[in-house]
Amino acid sequence: MPETILVALGGNALVKVGQQGTIAEQAANLREALAGIVELIRRGHRLIITHGNGPQVGHILIRAEEARGKAYELPLDVCVAQSQGETGYLIQQGLQNLFMQSGVSHRPVATVISRTEVDPTDPRMKAPTKPVGPFYTREQAVLLRERGYHLMEDARRGYRRVVPSPLPVRVLEAGVIQRLVKEGVIVIAVGGGGIPVHVVEDGTLVGVEAVVDKDLASSVLAVALGVDRLLDLTGVEHVKLHFGSPMERSLDSLTVAEAKSYLAEGHFAPGSMGPKIEAAIHFLEHGGREVVITRPETALEAFEGKAGTHVFPL
């Protein structure tokens, strides 16, 4: 039976290690990453695609710094919006070209510029930890701190700006996305976790200098849409325990209870697998049937239960 599936594309699906991240490289990487997704669409499943944006926003910020004094400045929320348009276009084009080459009947594809509401009282708003943008010298860091930026030192590469990463509350465009999905549209949304905004006292919305985790925002959207399964495509085929140690072990499946236990034991790094496991737990505790975590190249096999790590409610 056709299902509604949210596919979360990790940053490695767009820019691979060692690449510059050119548009040509991203388009070629997407042709590989989207192959299994196209087959799911051919089988009649309804899809929502989300994606990361770390490298893209980083380059946008570099351009903004180089153009300082020559062009208007770009706040971080606008940078996220720009990255959604750029990456959405590449995914749309890649999908429709693959449809034609694979003989898949035409399916409309649309990118929805998506905003994610965050809570201004979230304690994470007062603890900037998410690195964004280029590396700076000590002299540049002094000037940036005078402008109110928070910076973190990397002993080998210099200083880098850090911003808060608050928890997502809701995706404002969820209703629009749901209507499009019901009409048979393949929707690309919540790029980079969504554009972070919060509601001020008079009820209006303002952008926030922050970054929302893509996996957590994808889970919030999946719950709002009543999605059947969440397919998280990342850089590894399986979730692993004791990652990087002689005791490393791949997991074929686990329950929410096991996921919580392993998370508490510190098996999943906060900036890597941790948010994916947290997102899986949130989705499954709010009605989701299954979360599959694997590489883009094994997406179809994982969907069929032949690869990847499968997380279940019980």
Amino acid at 97: N
Neighbours of 240 (CB within 10 A): 18
308 is catalytic: no
Catalytic residue among 52, 194, 276, 288: 276
Catalytic residue among 11, 58, 94, 191: 11
12 is catalytic: yes
306 is catalytic: no
Alpha-carbon distance of 270 to 272, in angstroms, equals 6
Alpha-carbon distance of 164 to 6, in angstroms, equals 26
Catalytic residue among 10, 12, 29, 191: 12
Bridge partners of residue 5, in order along the sequence? 47, 229
SS (H, E, C) the chain: CCCEEEEEECHHHCCCCCCCCCHHHHHHHHHHHCHHHHHHHHCCCEEEEEECCHHHHHHHHHHHHHCECCECCCCHHHHHHHHHHHHHHHHHHHHHHHHHHHCCCCCCEEECCCEEEECCCCHHHHCCCEEEEEEECHHHHHHHHHCCCEEEEECCCEEEEEECCCCEEEECCHHHHHHHHHCCCEEECCHHHCEEEEECCCCCEEECCCCCCHHHHHHHHHHHHCCCEEEEECCCCCEEECCCCCCCEEECEEEHHHHHHHHHCCCCCCCCHHHHHHHHHHHHHCCCCEEEEECHHHHHHHHCCCCCEEEECC
The two tokens of residue 136 are 């700076």
The two tokens of residue 296 are 């883009």
Catalytic residue among 52, 88, 130, 288: 130
Catalytic residue among 29, 58, 191, 214: 214
53 is catalytic: no
126 is catalytic: no
Catalytic residues: 11-12, 130, 214, 276
